């Protein structure tokens, strides 16, 4: 149980931490990408402005005197293109050129493909009259840009993975250290419950014996005293059942699975049906069973018998006269399913999640009956979990309830 809690705490911690790291990484990447894009665009604009100053407009024609060497442009994976005011290409240098049509209104152009290219359009203004005489478009390959972002992604991804691994190791140590006092307190509480329940057995037995002895001679104690001793006997029986149930819960998980036997669940259920048949008939309840073959599993006979005893008793108590209690079994893969269904008072939807809590009760769906301890369903759930199984319940007020037990044929004890 505590191991599962530690795992859930560790998983929750890692999920939260991973989410924070992911948000941080995304923020870093967005800021870095924008900064790098702005830097690249600014560099291209500066080159374009330099190329525009070396253009002269004479006799209605552009004369280009570029100071940029083609070898340098090729080495930097850049290119220059000059256009007139109608967008006609006049000259170009370099190999990494945009093939897109010139769009003067769009300063930055991106060409996708095998080699992505970014272009920047800079207007050419005549130094004589300040009129627009043409355009220069500077382009550059984005391979280096993409490689830089890829390195950033690998760095951020590797950093997140390393951080999560180290955090996981630290989280294991921290959760273990944090849960240790709780586990110790829980074990001390269980030990106290077991010791207290064990010590209560003797005085309760003494009270019961003396009360029963007095009831054997009613003529010597008088009618009023007989009622008092009967009340004492009834209370003692309930206290005895309560201490036995508490002791059972405290010791349930101490039965090692290597002492388990191969059991026939069908045989266990058939014996319980025979045992409770008279009680059902006395209450005019039909106790039916549909049991399949090959219901074999590893488990503890006493515990499993107690599990289904509690469920059958619970069904018989809350089912009125002329009702039906039915036990059905099925075998799916390595899982065995046992359904105990009744036509009883049912359980309110708000109480479904509480029926397996210890000592919990509601006005109609649950209450103590004579000899009951209020721990029956809690014990049944503990036994199922101890056999690597689970109990679920569906119910409807005034219609009935169905408790479904799922057990594994190769169950291993759960701590």
> What confidence category does residue 153 fall into, taking pLDDT thresholds of 50, 70 and 90?
very high
CB 108 within 8 A of CB 37: no
Q: By percentage, how much of the chain surpasses pLDDT 70?
A: 81
Of 210-224, 248-262, 318-332, minimum mean pLDDT range: 248-262
Q: 276-335, pLDDT tens digit by residue?
A: 999 999 999 999 999 998 889 988 888 898 899 989 988 998 899 999 999 999 988 888
CATH tag, 2-141: 3.30.450
| Predicted local distance difference test score (pLDDT) of residue 365 | 43
Residue 113 gets the label, from left (phi > 0), alpha (psi -120 to 50) or beta, of left
Domain residue limits, the chain: 2-141, 150-252, 256-408
Same fold, 2-141 and 256-408: no
> Could you say which architecture CATH assigns to the domain 256-408?
2-Layer Sandwich (3.30)
- pTM, whole model, 2 decimals? 0.51
CB 120 within 8 A of CB 137: yes
The Cα 181–Cα 400 span in angstroms is: 43
CB atoms within 10 A of CB 203: 11
Arithmetic mean of pLDDT, 160-189: 81
Of 67-71, 92-96, 122-126, minimum mean pLDDT range: 67-71
The shares of helix, strand and coil residues in the chain, as percent rounded to the nearest 5, are: 55, 20, 25
Q: 333-349, pLDDT tens digit by residue?
A: 888 999 999 998 888 88
> Could you say which architecture CATH assigns to the domain 150-252?
Orthogonal Bundle (1.10)
């Amino acid at each position: 149980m505590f191991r599962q809690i530690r795992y859930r705490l560790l998983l929750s911690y890692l999920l939260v931490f991973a989410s924070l790291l992911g948000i941080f990484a995304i923020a870093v990447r967005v800021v870095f990408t924008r900064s790098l894009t702005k830097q690249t665009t600014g560099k291209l604009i500066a080159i374009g402005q330099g190329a525009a100053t070396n253009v002269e407009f004479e006799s209605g024609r552009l004369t280009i005197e570029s100071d940029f060497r083609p070898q340098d442009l090729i080495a930097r994976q850049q290119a220059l293109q000059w256009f007139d005011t109608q967008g006609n290409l006049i000259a170009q240098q370099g190999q990494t050129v945009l093939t897109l049509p010139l769009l003067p209104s769009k300063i930055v152009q991106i060409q996708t493909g095998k080699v992505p290219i970014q272009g920047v359009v800079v207007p050419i203004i005549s130094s004589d009259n300040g009129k627009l005489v043409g355009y220069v478009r500077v382009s550059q390959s984005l391979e280096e840009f993409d490689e830089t972002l890829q390195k950033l992604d690998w760095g951020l991804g590797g950093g997140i993975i390393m951080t999560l691994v180290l955090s996981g190791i630290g989280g294991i140590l921290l959760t273990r250290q944090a849960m240790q006092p709780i586990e110790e307190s829980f074990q001390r509480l269980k030990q106290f419950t077991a010791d207290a329940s064990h010590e209560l057995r003797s005085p309760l037995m003494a009270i019961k014996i003396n009360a029963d002895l007095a009831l054997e001679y009613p003529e010597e104690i008088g009618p009023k005293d007989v009622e008092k001793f009967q009340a004492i006997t009834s209370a003692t029986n309930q206290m005895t059942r309560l201490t036995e149930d508490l002791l059972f819960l405290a010791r349930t998980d101490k039965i090692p699975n290597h002492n388990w036997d191969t059991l026939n669940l069908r045989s266990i259920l058939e014996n319980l049906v025979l045992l409770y048949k008279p009680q059902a008939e006395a209450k005019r309840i039909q106790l039916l069973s549909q049991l399949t073959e090959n219901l074999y599993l590893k488990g503890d006979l006493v515990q499993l018998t107690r599990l289904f005893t509690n469920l059958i008793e619970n069904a018989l108590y809350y089912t009125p006269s002329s009702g039906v209690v039915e036990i059905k079994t099925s075998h799916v893969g390595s899982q065995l399913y046992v359904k105990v269904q009744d036509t009883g008072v049912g359980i309110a939807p708000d109480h479904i999640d509480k029926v397996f809590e210890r000592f919990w009760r509601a006005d109609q769906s649950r209450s103590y009956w004579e000899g009951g301890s209020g721990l029956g369903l809690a014990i049944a759930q503990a036994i199922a979990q101890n056999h690597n199984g689970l109990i679920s319940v569906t119910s409807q007020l005034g219609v009935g309830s169905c408790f479904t037990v799922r057990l594994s044929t190769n169950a291993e004890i759960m701590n």
